Each structure stands twice: as C-alpha cells, then as structure tokens.
Amino acid sequence: MPANEAHFRELFRKYSENTATAEERTELFQLIRERGNEQVFGELMLNELEGTVPQGDYDQLYWDGVFNELIEKAQQPEEKKVRPLIWRRLAVAVCALLIISVSGYFILHKEPVQQTAQNDPEQLAPLQKGVTLTLANGQKMLLSKKHSGQLVQIGSARISQQDSLLNYSGNAGNEEVKMNTLTNNSSSKFSVTLSDGTQATLDIGSTLTYPVVFNNASRLVSMTGQAYFKVKHLSGQRFIVKTKDQTTEDIGTEFNINGYDDEPVIKTTLVEGSVRVNEQLLRPGQQTMVSGTALSIKTADIESVTAWLQSKLIFEKEPLENIMRRVARIYGVQVVYQDEEVKKYTYFGSVNYTKKLSSVLNFFRKAGRVDFSVEGKTVTVFKAKSKK
C-alpha cells in the first residue's frame, strides 16, 4: 500500500463530493498517475460503482467519452479550473474500462469516442457490460480485453491474461481450495484455461465457478448460461460440470452446454470424445435435452450449436420465440409479442450479431410474416401487414 494512502482517500472523498479545491484536484490527478496507487484507486472506484449503479447499467459509447475526459485531466497539468464532473458517472465509466490488479499493474487506455444514434433505437449495438473475475475473498476485478500479463498470484497459483483469454497455472499441494468466478456480460466470447489445462469459453450472460487449482480426485466446476469446453483428460481425476439439474462428466472430450435460466431445457452437445450426462453416455454428434429428471437424446447440428463461437446465430426450422430469446440476451432487450401466433413461426438462415440490432430485425422482415417496433429497450413483435 502507498505511504500516502490515507491522504489519497481523503482527496478522493472531497472530489467525489465536489468539495475539492483546484490544488487538491491537481494533486489527486498526480497521485492517479503515480505507480503504487493503482490498487487503492481501483478499490475506491469499485466501491463508488457498487454503491450507486447496478453493474453494467450504462451506455458504453457515452461512458467512453466521460472516461476519456477524466484520463485527459489526470494526464495533463491543471492549467485552468476543471469543470465539475458528476463523479458517479466517472465511476461507471472507469470501472467499465479499466482492469484492477492486486499485483499493482494498472492499464488506462483511450478509445475513439463514437456517437450513439439517439433517434433510432434499432441502431442498438450488442451488449457490452464487461467481464468480471470474482476472487475467493469477494474482490471483483473488471477485465479489459486489451490486457496482457500477470494479474495476481494466489498461493502457488498465478493468474495471467492475454486479451480475451484468462490463464491459471500452479500446483495445489496442501493448499485450501479457493474458488474463482468468471462472468461474461459482453457480447463477444471470453475464455479461461484452468490449472489442469482445460479450456472453457463463455458466451454472453454466462458464469463459470472453479477452483484456482484442482487438488481433489474430482475436478468440479459449475456454470450458468452457455460454455464450450475442451477438457484435458487426466486418468483417475474426473472433470465434472454442474448446471442446475444436470451433471456432465467428461471422459476426454469437447462439448457445449447451453443452460440459460430462461431456456426450457439444458442442452449438452458432444463434439468430440465421450461424455456422460446424468449417467447417460453420449456419442459425438449427439445432444441431450434435460428438464428436471427428464432426459432425451437427439442428433445435433454441430454447426448451429457452436455458431456462437463465431458470433453467429444459425437456425433451421426454429420457432421465432426461441431465436428472439437469444436476440434479447445479445442486445439486452425485452421482447414482447402482440400476437401469440408469431412465436411459432419457423425460420431458416443465419445472422451475424456483431452488427446493430436493425440488421437482425431486417433479416426477419425480409423473410416475411413479421415486423417489429423498438422503443427504448423493448422490441415488440407483430404480424407484418400484407402487401396489396
């Protein structure tokens, strides 16, 4: 901890309450720039964020601009009186874009500020609420996908990051098992390589909870949402994934699990190798559907199941209601229907969801039978008017 931590915190408090003098603001910006103050600054920002704003509840492009303004102030001497800023907005902006590292490494980066389309709600970009790593002590680290290097060391375990891949290394020995949770609330995938060499890739709105290092006969992890696993097979040490009412046991394999809470069933699809789902053995290309104690098996369309890894939605004779559940997660919207019948309309095709919401809606408009209206974050689906 820095020797001037108490003074740093006092300056922060005054700035947050908008009572700091011009000299105190200048001193605060200088402290932000100095090495050794990164963890304290990050903790103060997280505390402000968690106390005022629900995680991720912000417009990404707008807050980028506010973030840039703060960093410019910290990077330059204060030559004239700084325009008062709303600190809670700054907390959201910075915490959304920085990575907080207990090892003392801090990255602040600027990106071009873009303009949002205020008058066209269909120009909504895919959700970007960030990626969060929650440590065993409850500390949350908001990860920047542009970071490379070590994040933190916990006992013998080292956690490092290379862009959108988190990596754990180390041996457990006799250490107490400590659990971490990775949460992806970004529309692009994020991966983690566990200490045993297993890699898991998380889709939007997904979480994975796992030991920092494995030291038991069974390697047990739990998840919500959707994840693709490439499991490192270790003889005598099973790899088990818990998802609501389902247990998936690896026998050296690659598989996909879709277990979002708003989906009626948990779908597990085996791509390679062998896996057991609730003691039911699967062959490559098979998919189980689990609801409570009921389990069924069918042949899967692997391309469709794994399309999210390429940021695509692929559907083949799939009801619109199922497709729109995924659209709602990707863009952070609520979908309502004027007519229940349209939920059952089926569609073939694929869409790329790295683009604006309008590109997805226009695909279905061109396919026919339905139309949409968007107001704020609500998408209303209704029957298209017949052409005369």
Distance (Å) of CA 224 to CA 183, 188, 311, 337: 9, 16, 19, 27
User: What global pTM score does this model have?
Assistant: 0.70
* Average of per-residue pLDDT values in the chain: 79
Delimit the domains of the chain by residue range: 5-97, 121-303, 311-383
Q: Among 213-222, 224-233, 242-251, 295-304, which stretch is predicted with the lowest mean pLDDT?
A: 213-222
- The proportion of the chain whose per-residue pLDDT surpasses 70, expressed as a percent, equals 74
Q: Among 116-120, 215-219, 227-231, 259-263, which stretch is predicted with the lowest mean pLDDT?
A: 116-120
Cβ atoms of 295 and 244 within 8 Å: the answer is no
pLDDT score at 174: 67
Check residues 78 and 296 and name the one with the higher pLDDT.
Answer: 296
Q: Going by C-beta distance under 8 Å and a sequence separation of 6 or more, which residues neighbour residue 324?
A: 335, 379, 381
Reported as type and span, the H/E element at residue 241 is strand 238-243
pLDDT score at 327: 95
How sure is the predictor about 337, in pLDDT bands with cuts at 50, 70 and 90? very high
Does 320 score more than 50 pLDDT? yes
pLDDT score at 81: 38
Determine the topology of domain 121-303 in CATH.
Jelly Rolls (2.60.120)
Task: Provide CATH code, domain 311-383.
Answer: 3.55.50.30
Does 287 score more than 80 pLDDT? yes
pLDDT score at 70: 45
Cβ atoms of 163 and 190 within 8 Å: the answer is no
User: Distance between CA 99 and CA 321 in Å, rounded?
Assistant: 37
pLDDT score at 36: 64
Does 132 score more than 70 pLDDT? yes
How sure is the predictor about 347, in pLDDT bands with cuts at 50, 70 and 90? very high
Category of 211 on φ-ψ map: left (φ > 0), alpha (ψ -120 to 50) or beta: beta
Check residues 121 and 297 and name the one with the higher pLDDT.
Answer: 297
pLDDT score at 17: 57
Average pLDDT rounded to a whole number, residues 222-227 = 97
How sure is the predictor about 193, in pLDDT bands with cuts at 50, 70 and 90? very high
Report the chain's C-alpha Rg in angstroms: 24
pLDDT score at 324: 96
pLDDT score at 109: 35
Q: What is the pLDDT of residues 60-97, one digit of tens each?
A: 433 444 344 444 455 554 444 333 443 444 444 444 43
Cβ atoms of 222 and 242 within 8 Å: the answer is yes
pLDDT score at 42: 65
pLDDT score at 38: 59
Check residues 244 and 171 and name the one with the higher pLDDT.
Answer: 244
Average pLDDT rounded to a whole number, residues 103-118 = 37
Give SS3 for 215: coil
Using the CB atoms, write b or e for 222-243: b if 16+ within 10 Å: ebbbbbbbbbbbeeeebbebeb
- The proportion of the chain whose per-residue pLDDT surpasses 90, expressed as a percent, equals 48
User: Distance between CA 76 and CA 339 in Å, rounded?
Assistant: 57
pLDDT score at 118: 52
